[in-house]
Amino acid sequence: MQGPKVLADNPQTYKENVELLELENLNISYSMRDSGQQYEWEIYYKVNEKQNDKALKLKFSIDSEQKVSVSSENNWEIQESNSIISNFMQDDEGLVILRADHSIEKLNLAIQVDSKIIENGQELINENILEGNVDQIYSLYIPKNQEAEVKKAASLAETTEESSSNKEDKEISKQNNESNLSFSYPSNFGIKSLFDEKTQNYENISPKYTEDETGIYPSQSWMPENNTKVINHQGWNAFSSNWDGIDSWDGNPANLTNSYIEHAGTNNPVDFALRKYARETETPGLYDVFLNVRGNVQNPIKPVDIVLVVDMSGSMEGAREGAIKQGVKSFLSSIENTAYAQYVNVGLVGYSSPGYISNSGYITVPMESLATDGHVSAMNKALERQFVGGTLLSWESVKELRC
């Protein structure tokens, strides 16, 4: 006999179906609600891999300074104290649920996706296929944090507008058969440094508007010279924490000073500044709209040296040989086509047994910057030969690169 179902007092849904990842073969989103006794984040995932020989595995890592409990379906397991990992999936969907007390102040979610493909009867696993392509760390919504940010931004902009976050509670229609898999943990884990390096969030600085018989317009405003049909909001001065007071200028976008809303940083008086404004053209009723961004953050870059050591023996022929060649080519290409290529120095050592790929049993490509003309091609060309022979790596080859 089943007893009556007990519902929490005043359940409230704050966020519903917030998209985190939307790829051709993977969708991840979350909903957030207050059950009355604690906060809940329902992370929905759907894997739809159309290639029969390919599957995906998901790993969620959580960062919080308070205790967080995690529940999932039975195709997930605990890998580390802070992480939960799924099996490889081709066509599946489900929920992972996070729960925490109302005292929680921070909740970050890191997502890692691994792929598995069957090639020539062998399994090839690529880890962290999202790296460098999409964001992997997400700050999940916490009601009181959001309310504090809104109030602070409103005070900074001298606005009195109040916001309400009351919404009707909505149930997710998907039936979730939870297993007994559940765990809790503190935040002292290895990937914490990844979260600590997350991009800084900045306060929104919103203009205050006046409404009268002439219409609605910014209370602190400026007009382009000889252009009285447009009223734009003034810039914000980070030093004085006030509007800049400039009420007219020519509206030339080459001007890098006037009407910018400046955002102060931790190590810089101004990290960046934004300017949005309109200006009527010579054709009445036709307007140019400008969005200007001015940066001021400089990140020093330290050069890095990388040596690729490649087993070119006969044990690597077939699928492994192809995977190595393609992997090196993709790795070099992904860096070569960026602004960081000049700071990345790469060399290559390929080894086998003497008399096969060379008389000595190894080949080398000296270490140079990836921005050097022909360097990437030289490393790819060195790997074009057939992988043959035994496996013997001489330290002389490594010394040759270091000299």
Task: Give pLDDT tens digits for 310-333.
Answer: 988 888 888 888 888 999 999 999
What is the rounded average pLDDT of the residues 217-225? 94
The closest alpha carbon to 310, from 374, 370, 389, belongs to 389
Assess contact for 222 and 259: CB atoms under 8 A: yes
Residue 368 in this model has a pLDDT that exceeds 60: yes
What is the rounded average pLDDT of the residues 291-312? 83
pLDDT band at residue 258 using 50, 70 and 90 as cut-offs: very high
Residue 86 in this model has a pLDDT that exceeds 60: yes
Domains of the chain, by residue range, sit at: 12-196, 209-295, 304-402
DSSP 8-state code for residue 247: -
Distance, in Å, from the CA atom of 96 to the CA atom of 176, rounded to the nearest integer, reads 9
What is the rounded average pLDDT of the residues 95-110? 90
The CATH code of domain 12-196 reads 2.60.40
- CB 168: neighbour CB atoms within 10 A? 7
Is 0.75 surpassed by the pTM of this model? no
Residue 256 in this model has a pLDDT that exceeds 70: yes
Residue 150 in this model has a pLDDT that exceeds 60: no
Ramachandran class of 247: left when φ > 0, alpha when ψ lies in -120 to 50, beta otherwise: alpha
Residue 231 in this model has a pLDDT that exceeds 70: yes
Distance, in Å, from the CA atom of 20 to the CA atom of 40, rounded to the nearest integer, reads 17
The CATH number of 304-402, from 3.20.20.70, 3.30.360.10, 3.40.50.410, 3.50.50.60, is 3.40.50.410
Q: What is the mean pLDDT of the chain?
A: 78
Q: How many CA atoms lie within 13 A of 397 on its CB side?
A: 24
DSSP 8-state code for residue 58: E
What is the rounded average pLDDT of the residues 257-266? 86
Distance, in Å, from the CA atom of 157 to the CA atom of 208, rounded to the nearest integer, reads 7
376 vs 1 pLDDT, higher one? 376
The pLDDT value given to residue 145: 62
Assess contact for 125 and 138: CB atoms under 8 A: no
DSSP-based three-state secondary structure for 352: coil
Q: Cα separations (Å) of 216 from 162, 208, 233, 284?
A: 18, 10, 12, 21
What is the rounded average pLDDT of the residues 157-172? 42
Among 40-54, 164-178, 205-219, which is the least confidently predicted range? 164-178
The two tokens of residue 204 are 């929104």
DSSP-based three-state secondary structure for 153: helix
